[in-house]
């Protein structure tokens, strides 16, 4: 059964390139980014995991723990990591789950038989500190992920978790945001001291509250 937004992210225990973990315990109070790659020693994946390592500082400042998974075993992961480091001029600094028995892939519905009977699709799960799934993305095996978009979404999710706002189309960090309909007009001044502009009675915008 596929997971939906708001569902609790399934817990699991697994061996990784950084030791054995219990997923929920490993996450702690952090946000989480769990993403799958179809197989080790594949070209697109090599660029993706390298890009993830290069963005270590960006994830850390957002309090996001990153973890990858594929259906290859730990020995394969450990042989592949030096290639990732060399190609991307970096050091892989996050765990890669060994999932040769497909336990995690099955829990998170990462294998789509009509696309591939044995390889995981490029799934992305962003998980909040409450262990609930906040976002899912699924890419075909041939298309590398846009990590700038993933960071943008995390910024939006974290902003809306702390304030009663939503983010408009193509929003980027620092731009105006939308006041959610749940906030009545008589509370706007107290909640949004920077001011609110009425574009339409139902569309109210305000400067990003935490900037």
Helices (H) and strands (E) in the chain, counts: 7, 11
Q: Reduced to 3 states, what is the DSSP secondary structure of residue 154?
A: helix
pLDDT at 62 over 70: yes
Give bridge partners of residue 27 from the DSSP assignment. Answer: none
CA distance linking residue 71 with residue 103, whole number of Å: 9
pLDDT at 117 over 50: no
Q: 110 or 50, which is more confident?
A: 50
pLDDT at 21 over 60: yes
What's the chain's average pLDDT?
A: 92
Give bridge partners of residue 126 from the DSSP assignment. Answer: 33, 135
The lowest-confidence range among 8-12, 58-62, 117-121, 136-140 is 117-121
pTM of the model: 0.90
pLDDT of the residue at 35: 93
Domains and CATH numbers, the chain: 13-150 (3.40.30.10), 163-206 (3.30.1020.10)
pLDDT of the residue at 129: 97
Q: Indicate if 45 belongs to the active site.
A: yes
pLDDT of the residue at 38: 83
Tokens of 93: 């600094």
CA distance linking residue 13 with residue 21, whole number of Å: 6
pLDDT of the residue at 63: 98
* 52 in Cβ contact with 94 (< 8 Å): yes
Q: 76 or 211, which is more confident?
A: 76
pLDDT above 90 covers a percentage of the chain that reads 80
Catalytic residue among 45, 105, 124, 159: 45
pLDDT at 119 over 70: no
């Amino acid at each position: 059964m596929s997971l939906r937004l708001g569902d609790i992210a399934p817990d699991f225990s697994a061996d990784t390139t950084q030791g054995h973990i219990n997923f929920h315990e490993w996450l702690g109070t952090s946000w989480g980014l769990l993403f799958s790659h179809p197989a080790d020693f594949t070209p697109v994946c090599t660029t993706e995991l390298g890009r993830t390592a290069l963005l270590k500082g960006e994830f850390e400042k957002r309090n996001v723990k990153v973890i990858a998974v594929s259906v290859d075993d730990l020995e394969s992961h450990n042989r592949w990591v030096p290639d990732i480091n060399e190609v991307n001029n970096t050091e892989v600094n996050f765990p890669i789950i060994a999932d040769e028995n497909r336990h995690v892939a099955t829990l998170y519905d990462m294998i789509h038989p009509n696309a591939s009977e044995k390889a995981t699709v490029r799934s992305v799960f962003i998980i909040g500190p409450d262990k609930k799934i906040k976002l899912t993305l699924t890419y075909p095996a041939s298309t590398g992920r846009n990590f700038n978009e993933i960071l943008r979404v995390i910024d939006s999710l974290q902003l809306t978790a702390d304030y009663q706002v939503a983010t408009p189309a193509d929003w980027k960090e620092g731009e105006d945001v939308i006041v959610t309909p749940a906030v009545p007009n008589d509370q706007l001044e107290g909640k949004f001291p920077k001011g609110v502009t009425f574009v339409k009675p139902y569309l109210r915008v305000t400067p990003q509250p935490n900037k």
